[in-house]
Every structure is written in C-alpha cells, then in structure tokens.
Chain A
Amino acid sequence: MSQDNKQTQGPQTTGHAWDGDLQEYNNPIPNWWLYAFYISVASAVIYWFIYPAWPIGGSFTKGFNTITYVNDKGITKTTHWNTRALLMAETNEAVAAQKPYYTKVANTPFEQITKDPELNSFVVSAGKQIFSDNCAPCHQQGGAGKIGFAPNLTDDDWLYGGHFANIQQTITGGRHGYMPPFAEVLTDTQVSQLADYVLSLSKIAVNPASAQAGDVLFHSETAACYYCHGANAKGRQEIGSANLTDKIWLWANVPGADTIAGKEEAVKNVIRNGLNKGVMPEWKDRLSADQIKLLAVYVHELGGGK
C-alpha cells in the first residue's frame, strides 16, 4: 500500500492491525441503545427474583411473588406465582362477579325469572355458555338435536314434560329411554301394519287397510303398544314414552326418508329392535344446583317450554 493512498478520513479503529494494514473498525453503538440494554439486563434480574425462573435439578426457583386463590373445593390457597394459579384467581373473580345474578336466579321462582328482562338476559347469555360446555355435544349447538341420537330441544315436544320443574328434574337426575324389541314377538306383516298405523297418526298417506289393521294390533294385547304410548298414542310423559301423533320424530328418521317405503322402514326398525339408548346422564354432581336451575330456564326458552 503506497503512502499516497492513505485515507484522510475514515472511521475509528480498534488499534489492532494485521498484515501491516488490515484493521478492525470500531463503531460503537449509540449510548441510548447501550443503556436500554443495561436496563433490560437489570429487569431480567429483578424478574428472576419475583417470578419462577431458574430450573434447579428437579425443582426451580419459585420467586417471592405469591398469589392467592380459592380452589374448587373452597379451600383458600397461597402459592408462588404461576399462570395456573393466576387463572384460578381470575376465575374466582369472574365467579364472584356472577354470584349476585346466580343468587337472584336461585331465589326467584321460574315464572318470575322470565318476566324480569334483566334476569332473563343473564339467563340467556350465561345459559348459552353452560349449554355449549355441557349439553351441546349431544343436543348440538343451540339445542337443535339430531334424529336418532339426541332430542331436539327447540321444538315443543317433550318426552318427559316441558315445564320448568320437569326440565330441572331431567337435568338433575338424567333419563334413560327404553322400548322393548318386538322382532321376536311380531311377524313381519304385523310390524308393517303397526308402522303404517304410526305413520297414519302423523297424517302420512299410507295403505289405509294396513293402517287399520295396525290400529287394532296397537290396542291389542299381542303388541300392547298402548301400555306405554297410551290408548290415544299420545305418549306418557311420566315414563318418557313418545307422542306418536305429532309430526316430530326422535328415533325413526321419518322426515329424512323420501319415499313412503323408506319412512315405513324407519319406523319398522324401531319396532323390531326397540330402543335402549335414550340415555341422558345425570348432572347433579357436575353442575351446581344454581347452574341447573339456570339451565332449566334456558332450555325452557329454547323450545318455548310447556
């Protein structure tokens, strides 16, 4: 490198030189940046003391910050700060905020709740949440139900009764629907006749002669359907037997079949094989009485109750 090429302006170097003229620039970062870095370091150290931070073998430093919450058994606990306890503490706050409303729901008769706009609004919004968390897996979101699986709660048909108290009882104690299979007792013709009769009750055009025969069979001791479904086939809510005269189907997917034969087949299936699946679990151990009461009002409103 010739002396002529020597730069007259340029950056500061560290003073190190290799191979005669190979140098290292010294470009320090701005001071504000440096101070921000120092502050970050200091904050980190403070953080280590306050919050759980360092793993030590099978344990860790817990920090001196504590948090207090009430667990689901009602015991007040104080522990080192952690996000799980924070969630519990925040849940406690939310529960406390809802508490006055729940108390009011618990202390108000059913009919009065639906007359009080603000209480009713609380039921609609809180009920929707409880329903989504607990009931929607079977009864579907919004209570629409599914034929052959779980009853639709938004219509006006109630197997076990649609009064507030009925619904409350259903949720509290659960239900178990049962219908015996008739495949071994009745002939195929008899099953067809019964199916036609049941369809005719819902004003579906079937062979009148077959339906007539079914009518007789229905009320005879051979099939003895009237034991459970009643002489007028309107069902009995005390045992949860279905009303066969309305247009609502729970187990036989009659609306889903396009042909009369298909509809018949759906009903015949139920008569032949019976049912042992209308199982609604009991909720008294999973939900509080207040929650169940609120849910009963919510479900009552879904279907307009009865």
Chain B
Amino acid sequence: MNTGIEQPVKLYEKRIPVVTRSVKGRFRNLKSAILLLAYSVYFVLPWLPWSRHDAASQAVMFDMDGRRFFIFNLVVYPQNVFWLALLLFISAVILFFATSLIGRAFCGYFCFQTLWTDLFIWVEHLIQGERPARLRLLKQPWNAEKVIKIGSTHLIWLLVAFWTGMTFILYFGYAPDLLHRFFIGHAAYAAYVGVIGLTLTTYLAAGFMREQICAYVCPYGRFQSVMYDPETLAVAYDVRRGEGDRGRISPKGELKDRQTRLNQGHGDCIDCGFCVQVCPAGIDIRDGLQYRCISCGLCIDACNNIMDSMGYPRGLIRYDSEANLAASVPKAPYIDWKRWKLLGYVLAIVGMSAGLIYSINQRTDFEHSVQQIRQPLFVVLSSGEIRNRYQIRLTNKSDRDVQYRITAKDLPSGALDLGEMQNVTVHSGKSVIVQASVKLQPNQTKKYEHFEFVIQSLNNPTDRAVEAASFYSEKAE
C-alpha cells in the first residue's frame, strides 16, 4: 500500500551542461586580450632569466629551501611577511573599489577560473565545432567520431592542465633544472604532489565544474554582490526597451520593422536566445541581475550583433547602473566614480601602496636581532665586575659577502667585548651569531643601564642599524 508516495524532492540537482556559442565583439576581444596577457605572464615568467650572484638566475623564484623569494631585483625574506599582508590588503581594496565601480569585473575578465574555462571552451569549439554541432555530438551515440572528438578534447585539456600545474611548480625551483629532474624522477616529492594535484583540479574545475565553481564554491562571487550600489555598473537588460508593453516577440513578417513593433507595443527583444547561448554561466540575463552572472559581457556582444543585423540601435543589453536604468529618462551609461565610498577606497589604496613602496625602499640589506642572554641575567666576575651577555644575530640579505662592524654607543671604552668578532664577515644569504659581553664596574652599572649597539656595514655606509639594549645588575642596596 503506497499511499502518499509522490515525486521525490531533489536535494541535488544534476548539472545541465552549458554548451556555449562563440561570439564576436568588443567584450569578447577584451576578454581574449586579457587572457592572452595573463597566460603569457603565467607561462613565460618562470623562464625569464635574471642575473643573480648566489642563486638560480631566474627572474621570479620562490626559494623554499633558502627561505627567500626572488622577485626580479627584490629578495623577500620571512621577516618581510608584513609586505605580503599589505599586498593582500591592497588587492582586497582594489577588488572592493573595482566591484563598486564596474561590478564583478574580476570574475568576468581576470579570474583564473574564467580564464581557464574560457580556454577549455575554446578547445572544445576548435575540435567539436560550434554549439549546434557540440549539442549534436553530446546526444549522438558513442561511435568513432564521438570518441575521437571527445577524446582529443580531453587529451588537450589534460595537457593544458598538466602544463598549468607544471608551470606552477617551476616557480619554486630553477625551471630548466627542475623540469629535467621532474621527468627523470629526481624532483622533490612535493613537486609531484603539486603537479598531480593542480593537473587534476585544473582539469576538473575548468573542464567539468566550470560555472558551478562560481555559483557554489567561490567565496569571492558570494561577497562581491554585497559591494554593489545602485550606481554600480553591471550587465543589465533594458526591460522597458526590450519588452515594451506586450513583451518580447520574434520578428516575423511585418514585426521585423522596428516602428511597427513599437506601435504594436512590443519591445526590441526578438527573443533569439543568443544572449543565453553565449553565456558561460548558463543564465538568462533577461531575468535581471542575478548571483550567477559573472559580468563578462559576452551577452552584450551577442545582443549587439543581433541588434546590428536587425538594424535596431545597440545597447539592449549593456553595462549600466540600476539607478540609471530606473531613471525616467536614462542617460547614456557612465561610470559614476564621484562617490564617497569610492574616494575612501582610493585613499586606502594610495595610502597602503605608498606604505608598501616606502617599506620596500627602506629595507636594509641585512637583518639583525639583539637578544639579551637571560640565563643568568648577569654574572658577578671574580674581580667584582658585573657582566651582561648579548646574542646578536646578523643575516646578510644582499647578494655579496659583507663585513659588519659592531660597536656600542654610550658605554665606557673597553666595556664591550666581542671576542674575535668586532668585524664580522657574513656570506651572502647566511646568518651569523655573535656573542657580545659587556663588563662594568659595580659603581658604573646605574649610569649605563641603557645603551645602544650599532651595527654598521663596512661595504655600504648607509646600511646601519641601532639597537637599544639594557644592562642588568644587582639591585641597589
């Protein structure tokens, strides 16, 4: 007895494949240009040589073993992690700024997911043909043609994904050498894990998950919509123009003429569906602004092409702001940057960038720390003198060996004892620990409770550091 049994409510909806039509136009060209630029940078950068003294001659290299990052002439040490924090802040504010101004431009044009998906779709198009051909191929039973076409598509995808992962790894070692070691099986364990992991994730994310990453996985997509204002530019369908009073209608017979359509109360949208077919997110922009829209503008290109062929004015779908679309007499779409929020973002970006540039320019070529030895805090010597000891660590970050001189300011002469290390040579990229001891007569200790160590590079007069230190002694009676 099966009363009450009905259609199950699905918790998990199977993905409907998005098979996109290719399109030509301004935004497609812009996307292609950015794709070309981004790919050139990503894939070529690890192969860019750079003359360097003590390390691999590669312009950008993240040297994990040496714990330093080489970025052209800049060497970043763990101590500079502050720069990374600042860089991330700046990037975040630029994202906020751009999103408030022109919507999800990052998603549509710069995001890796978009870029790689775009390439994978291009490969699909190249091998399997335009959308109708691909749809036909999807439906047809497995035969030689389908196997060859689908198989070669996946093969190329895998190769691209592999080279993507491989390239990522090449940033972490000297590329020609690492590549060689990778293929003869002598690379580090992490390299293989990295390449396999990235190959699989690229293949899956750009080949299969595509718009689902944007809709379900990506956190950026989620919070970018929060930054929208009524003045933010977004891909918008002009409903008033497109639908008129009586809705969209296909252009049959006399309905091809725009004036006739307007007279009959129909809008400019001829319901051709091109805007839907070209959308990589698989949405219908005519349903209004929606969270799945990545703001890439391909539907604008598609619609403009149709408008051109119909002889209607362009811009039925366009980048426009909600405020302007709702205005009784809409102006031409414009970027409204004169807003307090945006000016605040600009201020933050300029301020933090200035801070970052200043900090990078102010870096010394060496890193130092002065640590008082606290086991014990002080020692009474046989003569009754009091001794404090300090550990000075010097790291030479420059690309040549440097000699440093350590002196003390505000101490009586002879009080500072550095053993054999008054002048200490530190090799490029190495650290050295210098033990310093300061010896004072009991009656001097109060006077010299605070003094300073001065560390001076003998090779470069501007590289100088002053570090405050204190002297402990017995409590006064």
Q: Which of A203-227 contact B (CB under 8 A)?
A: 203
Q: Give chain A nearest CB distance to B7 CB in angstroms.
A: 7
The answer to whether B79 has its CB under 8 Å from any CB of chain A is no
Known: A30-B12, A246-B382. A117 touches B424 (CB 8 A): yes
Q: Are the C-beta atoms of A124 and B389 separated by less than 8 Å?
A: no
Q: How far is the CA of A202 from the CA of B417 in the complex (A)?
A: 26
Q: Are the C-beta atoms of B433 and A9 separated by less than 8 Å?
A: no
Instruction: List the one stretch of A80-88, A97-105, A151-159, A184-192 in contact with chain B.
Output: A151-159
Contacts of B2 in A (CB 8 A): 13, 15, 17
Contacts of B430 in A (CB 8 A): 118
The answer to whether A170 has its CB under 8 Å from any CB of chain B is no
Contacts of A134 in B (CB 8 A): none
Q: Which of A1-32 contact B (CB under 8 A)?
A: 6-13, 15, 17, 20-21, 23, 27, 30-31
Q: Give chain A nearest CB distance to B477 CB in angstroms.
A: 11
Known: A20-B1, A118-B427, A247-B382. A9 touches B373 (CB 8 A): no
The range of chain A's interface size is: 35 or more
Q: Are the C-beta atoms of B375 and A140 separated by less than 8 Å?
A: yes
Contacts of B391 in A (CB 8 A): 124
Q: Are the C-beta atoms of B382 and A155 separated by less than 8 Å?
A: yes
Q: Are the C-beta atoms of B4 and A23 separated by less than 8 Å?
A: yes
Q: Are the C-beta atoms of B435 and A124 separated by less than 8 Å?
A: yes
Q: Give chain A nearest CB distance to B414 CB in angstroms.
A: 14
Instruction: List the one stretch of A41-49, A50-58, A141-149, A282-290 in contact with chain B.
Output: A141-149
Q: How far is the CA of A121 from the CA of B379 in the complex (A)?
A: 22
Q: Give chain A nearest CB distance to B331 CB in angstroms.
A: 49
- Size of the B side of the interface (Cβ < 8 Å), in residues, is 39
Q: Give chain B nearest CB distance to A43 CB in angstroms.
A: 16
| Residue ID in chain A nearest B424 by CB atoms | A117
Q: Are the C-beta atoms of B1 and A17 separated by less than 8 Å?
A: yes
The answer to whether B213 has its CB under 8 Å from any CB of chain A is no
Per-residue 0/1 for B163-199: is the Cβ within 8 Å of any A Cβ (1 yes, 0 no)? 0000000000000000000000000000000000000
Q: Are the C-beta atoms of A144 and B4 separated by less than 8 Å?
A: no
Known: A12-B5, A115-B420, A248-B382. A142 touches B373 (CB 8 A): yes
Contacts of B3 in A (CB 8 A): 6, 21
Per-residue 0/1 for B428-468: is the Cβ within 8 Å of any A Cβ (1 yes, 0 no)? 00111111010000000000000000000000000000000
Q: Which residues of A contact B (CB under 8 A)?
A: 6-13, 15, 17, 20-21, 23, 27, 30-31, 114-115, 117-118, 120-121, 124-125, 140-144, 152, 154-157, 203, 243, 246-248, 255, 301, 303-304
Interface pairs (10), CB distance under 8 Å: A7-B4, A9-B7, A11-B9, A13-B5, A27-B11, A30-B12, A143-B375, A157-B381, A247-B380, A304-B437
Starting from the known contacts A10-B5, A247-B384, 15 additional A-B residue pairs (CB-CB under 8 Å) come to A12-B5, A20-B1, A30-B11, A114-B419, A114-B420, A120-B434, A142-B373, A144-B376, A155-B379, A155-B381, A247-B380, A248-B380, A301-B435, A304-B387, A304-B437
